[in-house]
Amino acid sequence: MTLSQVANVEQVKQVNSALVYRLINEQGPLSRVRLAELSALAPASITKLSRQLLEAGLIRELEESTPTGGRPAIALACQDETLGLVAGRLGRDRLQLSLYNLKGEELANQQWPVSVTEQQAVMDQLLQTLGDFIAQYGQRLQRLIAVGLTMPGLIDPQQGMVFYMPRYQLRELALGPWLAERLGLPVYLGNDTRAHALAEHLIGAAQGCHDAILVSVHQGTGAGILSNGRIFLGKNSNVGEIGHIQVEPFGQRCHCGNFGCLETIVANPAILGRTAQLLAQGHPSQLAADNLTIEALCQAAQAGDPLARHVLEHAAEQLGRTLAIMVNLFNPQKLLLAGEIMQCRDILWPVLQRCIDQQSLPSFHQDLPIELARFQHAGTIGGYALIKRALYESDLLQRLMTPSVTE
Amino acid sequence: MTLSQVANVEQVKQVNSALVYRLINEQGPLSRVRLAELSALAPASITKLSRQLLEAGLIRELEESTPTGGRPAIALACQDETLGLVAGRLGRDRLQLSLYNLKGEELANQQWPVSVTEQQAVMDQLLQTLGDFIAQYGQRLQRLIAVGLTMPGLIDPQQGMVFYMPRYQLRELALGPWLAERLGLPVYLGNDTRAHALAEHLIGAAQGCHDAILVSVHQGTGAGILSNGRIFLGKNSNVGEIGHIQVEPFGQRCHCGNFGCLETIVANPAILGRTAQLLAQGHPSQLAADNLTIEALCQAAQAGDPLARHVLEHAAEQLGRTLAIMVNLFNPQKLLLAGEIMQCRDILWPVLQRCIDQQSLPSFHQDLPIELARFQHAGTIGGYALIKRALYESDLLQRLMTPSVTE
DNA sequence: CACACTTATTTCACTTCGCAAATATAGATT
DNA sequence: AATCTATATTTGCGAAGTGAAATAAGTGTG
């Protein structure tokens, strides 16, 4: 049962080079002296570490010298325009792929419908499409370092394994290693909402925020919980499936079998369903029953339509209760919300705020901002975040610094 | 903002010596070879580390030789009978102190009423009592290594600070350092319920269980959440105050100001209050209104008294909902329950089980045992757990291994 | 009883880490 | 041109873990 987190001397270097790399990345171009200050490492160590990062092509020296009294500092910056990655999201009916440089700029993107629903077929299409995409766009970068792939489903990011994704009948499939071997690139897998939260942490609205919660409302409702700068995953790596928290003991039956799950009230289909139902009952509204979309609903609500407002406020009420519980249980510094309905901020926010204020501990909700997420769709940015994190956490970085054995 | 978790070579040793110490502690007497296998360290390293632990008097060599074909192995065991600690709990109206050896055996215990309610007076009484207790019982051990003190209140264990404990008007008080300086011993502080959960993890019902939740129902309701072998504390170190999760939107007013908090239904005073109320309304019961205790309630319930059963089942229903939410949000491997009402296991468990089964994700509640905690009162064992953890996490261990500067 | 055999532990030479101090560097200042 | 100053690098050191070899301490065997 050996819980050995044994440490050895090499790991020290791994941790420190990752730290230096992260500092350069996050705090802009830095001189070696400044790095030494920030990292609390000795200048000599910075010299050694930065040399290796330079040799690996992960950072570069800038030319411009800042005018100080003495020897000009050489600023170190990340080599983040010529290095990049392929990020993908395998959604319920489409596959999106993007090429990012490490800076986070999207250099190319494309998407394809996925009509197959059987395991091997999906795997084949995924591999084929990825291969083609890399062949087509790969040379826009000097070097492609990895592939980050996200999907709505239960994922074990450690093993690169898809535990369960019903849409394509995936079950305990070691997709990561399978792709990695065939593509000749490291492949990182993750749940899309959790990866989205990570993206908010790294380059979005949760920057500098070690404890935050992202709630994303689309077809379902999911959350990504940042705790101490890390995604909280729990025993099975899948904490955040808040859609099936029961909020109405005698509520509607959910497809999961239980009653009154959050997803039966707060999720696009549920919201539209309830709207349609109320319309059919003859409640007055400017909405047309035949072309009901979230977009239309939001516009109507903002225009003052009582039915639209009512539906959204009802959803906000239950979402707010769930948020309040999460605030009590995770004590975050910030709440982020994503999803089409969030454009009705003016309608939703007051309800959410009231719920949280009334239903969570004062010391937990004081100064707790509720904000729009920077990325409103989980998209491919989550895949980018997976790779960025891997660089920061030294496993991928180490791979890039040791000239690989295979090539 | 320097997030520097910079690593240096010394830390490697700290981590490894803590690992070796922990292995010896948890996996019984071990030979050096076996330790090398378990820890994945080289035998040479084990020799060096174990020598230092021996010199510090933290472990000892056993005499008995096991009959193998070759040179007999020297078993290393923890020096856990002659080393010990003082553990205390500062409750709402009393102070309990115990002397434990490192094995966890209680060698002495005593308690005192605390009638003062003002900050300096409590501090003085605490210091005085601790000093006397140590003077009286300290020599039962070869060495007293630390003091572990728990209390119901908001604690910052890192700083040894009491954020907030209304009973004694404590607020942002650096009690740990204050006591440590005067007692000449390291003092560790912690919230009692969280420390209780830690005790369950280290020597109680959650041994070998990296993810578990303890819910304790006494005057209030609190939880200790073990995640990945550590107590989950959140940003302010106080995650687990579940008593103020709203479970009944239109419920009773709670002393915290909100309505329908869990504590207005599930907590000894709430349960007794509701019982009294129903009795007053004339509901038939064998209970006497004038001498209502949890003990009496439980006995009545087990004897089949309908009112007592009803009250307990109602509480279980709300507790179950809360547990289900926590299961969804933390994905534990085990649930532990503590408190006097838990003696009515036969009545409570089925309700809790049903709630969890109906209101949490199947993959999260499959094979999720609900058990009685080993320790039913938060007592002084939490203080013992704080010290034990400090030993395992290398900060206290390191202090014991370097012959201290002060003496 | 001497000898081989087996297993456990220690020793020793080696590499790596980070570190402190000394040294080199490159531009600004005088 | 000499000096100043902040920056970067080199050097030598101590401490970490490691692997191989040496040593220790028993058991079995002829």
- The fraction of chain B above a pLDDT of 90, given in percent, is 82
Residue with tokens 């109680």: B204
Burial profile B175-190: b = 16 or more Cβ within 10 angstroms, e = fewer: bbebbbeebebbbbbb
Q: Which of B227, B242, B333 sits opposite A328 (nearest CB)?
A: B242
Contact A12 B15 (CB under 8 A): no
Contact A348, A312 (CB under 8 A): yes
Could you give all domains of chain B from N- to C-terminal order, each with its CATH number?
3-78 (1.10.10.10), 83-197+380-396 (3.30.420.40), 208-372 (3.30.420.40)
Contact B35, B24 (CB under 8 A): yes
Give the pLDDT confidence score for residue A405 in this predicted structure: 43
Task: Give the up-direction half-sphere exposure of residue A250: CA atoms within 13 A in the CB hemisphere.
Answer: 0
Give the pLDDT confidence score for residue A397 in this predicted structure: 93
| Interface with B, mutate which of A1, A6, A262 (most B CBs under 10 A) | A6
- Is the CB of residue B183 less than 8 Å away from at least one CB of chain A? no
- Name which of B165, B216, B183, B170 is nearest B374 in CA terms: B216
Query: What's the CA A142/C1' D24 distance, rounded, in angstroms?
Result: 59
- Is the CB of residue A364 less than 8 Å away from at least one CB of chain B? yes
Is residue A4 very low, low, confident or very high in pLDDT (cuts 50, 70, 90)?
very low
Contacts of B241 in chain A (CB under 8 A): 328, 361
- Is the CB of residue A71 less than 8 Å away from at least one CB of chain B? no
Residue A228 Ramachandran class (φ > 0 left, ψ -120 to 50 alpha, else beta)? left
Size of interface A-B (CB pairs under 8 A): 154
Amino acid identity, position B118: E
What the block records as the tokens of A277 is 């139902």
Which nucleotide's C1' sits nearest to the alpha carbon of B66?
D26
Give the pLDDT confidence score for residue B64 in this predicted structure: 76
Residue A297 has pLDDT above 90, yes or no: yes
Distances (CA, A) of B138 to A367, B82, B164, B226: 46, 11, 31, 32
Query: What's the CA A12/C1' C28 distance, rounded, in angstroms?
Result: 39
Which nucleotide's C1' sits nearest to the alpha carbon of A12?
C17
Q: In what order do the strands lie in the sheet with B170-173?
A: B154-156, B161-165, B170-173
Is residue B403 very low, low, confident or very high in pLDDT (cuts 50, 70, 90)?
low
What the block records as the tokens of A249 is 């003991």
- How far apart, in whole angstroms, are the C-alpha atoms of residue B216 and residue B341? 10
Give the pLDDT confidence score for residue A384 in this predicted structure: 98
Residue B284 has pLDDT above 90, yes or no: no
Q: What is the pLDDT of residues B122-131, one digit of tens each?
A: 999 999 999 9
Give the pLDDT confidence score for residue B7 in this predicted structure: 78
Please state the length of chain A: 407
Q: What is the pLDDT of residues A209-226, one digit of tens each?
A: 999 999 999 999 999 999
Higher-pLDDT residue of A177 and B259 is A177
Please state the length of chain B: 407
- How far apart, in whole angstroms, are the C-alpha atoms of residue A106 and residue A103? 9
Which whole number is the average pLDDT over B354-373? Answer: 93
Give the pLDDT confidence score for residue A326 in this predicted structure: 96
In chain B, the residue whose alpha carbon lies closest to the alpha carbon of A18 is: B6
Query: What's the CA B11/C1' C3 distance, rounded, in angstroms?
Result: 48
Q: Which residues lie near nucleic chain C, judged by CB under 7 A?
A: A 9-10, 12-13, 16, 40-45, 48-49, 65, 67, 69-72; B 6-9, 31-34, 43-44, 46-48, 50-51, 68-74
3-state SS class at B387: helix
B225, with CB counted inside 10 A (0-12, 13-18, 19+), is buried
Contact A11 B9 (CB under 8 A): no
Is residue A185 very low, low, confident or very high in pLDDT (cuts 50, 70, 90)?
very high
Contact B206, B336 (CB under 8 A): yes
The count of other CB atoms within 10 Å of the CB of residue A135 is: 9
- Alpha carbon of A37: minimum distance to chain B alpha carbons (Å): 9
The count of other CB atoms within 10 Å of the CB of residue B93 is: 10
Query: What's the CA A96/C1' D2 distance, rounded, in angstroms?
Result: 65
Contact B21, B59 (CB under 8 A): yes
Q: What is the pLDDT of residues B140-197, one digit of tens each?
A: 999 999 999 999 999 999 999 999 998 999 999 999 999 999 999 999 999 999 999 9
Which whole number is the average pLDDT over A133-152? Answer: 96
Is residue B406 very low, low, confident or very high in pLDDT (cuts 50, 70, 90)?
very low
| Interface with B, mutate which of A236, A242, A325 (most B CBs under 10 A) | A325
Which nucleotide's C1' sits nearest to the alpha carbon of A74?
D7
- Is the CB of residue A19 less than 8 Å away from at least one CB of chain B? yes
Give the pLDDT confidence score for residue B207 in this predicted structure: 95
Residues 6+ apart with CB under 8 A from A387: A85, A87, A145, A146, A147, A148, A188, A396
- How far apart, in whole angstroms, are the C-alpha atoms of residue B224 and residue B299? 28
Q: What is the pLDDT of residues A252-276, one digit of tens each?
A: 998 888 888 999 999 999 999 999 9
Contacts of A11 in chain B (CB under 8 A): 7, 12
Q: What is the DSSP letter of A20?
A: H
Is residue B375 very low, low, confident or very high in pLDDT (cuts 50, 70, 90)?
very high
Q: What is the pLDDT of residues B299-329, one digit of tens each?
A: 999 999 999 999 999 999 999 999 999 999 9
Contact A145, A386 (CB under 8 A): no
- The fraction of chain A above a pLDDT of 70, given in percent, is 97
Contact A109, A132 (CB under 8 A): no
**Out of A62-66, B87-91, B250-254, least confident range:** A62-66
Give the pLDDT confidence score for residue A378 in this predicted structure: 86
- Is the CB of residue B7 less than 8 Å away from at least one CB of chain A? yes
> Which amino acid residue lies closest to nucleotide C11, measuring CA to C1'?
B44
Query: What's the CA A71/C1' D1 distance, rounded, in angstroms?
Result: 19
Q: What is the DSSP letter of A259?
A: B
Is residue A103 very low, low, confident or very high in pLDDT (cuts 50, 70, 90)?
very high
Give the pLDDT confidence score for residue B405 in this predicted structure: 43
CA dihedral B36, B39, B41, B46 (to 10 degrees): -50
**How much is the mean pLDDT over chain A?**
92
Amino acid identity, position A228: N
A367, with CB counted inside 10 A (0-12, 13-18, 19+), is exposed
| Interface with A, mutate which of B3, B233, B314 (most A CBs under 10 A) | B3
Contacts of A3 in chain B (CB under 8 A): 22, 229
Q: Give B293-325 as a DSSP string.
A: -HHHHHHHHHTT-HHHHHHHHHHHHHHHHHHHH
Residue B401 has pLDDT above 50, yes or no: yes
The count of other CB atoms within 10 Å of the CB of residue A311 is: 29
Residue A403 has pLDDT above 80, yes or no: no
Contacts of A10 in chain B (CB under 8 A): none
Is residue A121 very low, low, confident or very high in pLDDT (cuts 50, 70, 90)?
very high
**Out of A117-131, A139-153, A302-316, B252-266, least confident range:** B252-266
Is residue B378 very low, low, confident or very high in pLDDT (cuts 50, 70, 90)?
confident
Contact B38 A4 (CB under 8 A): yes
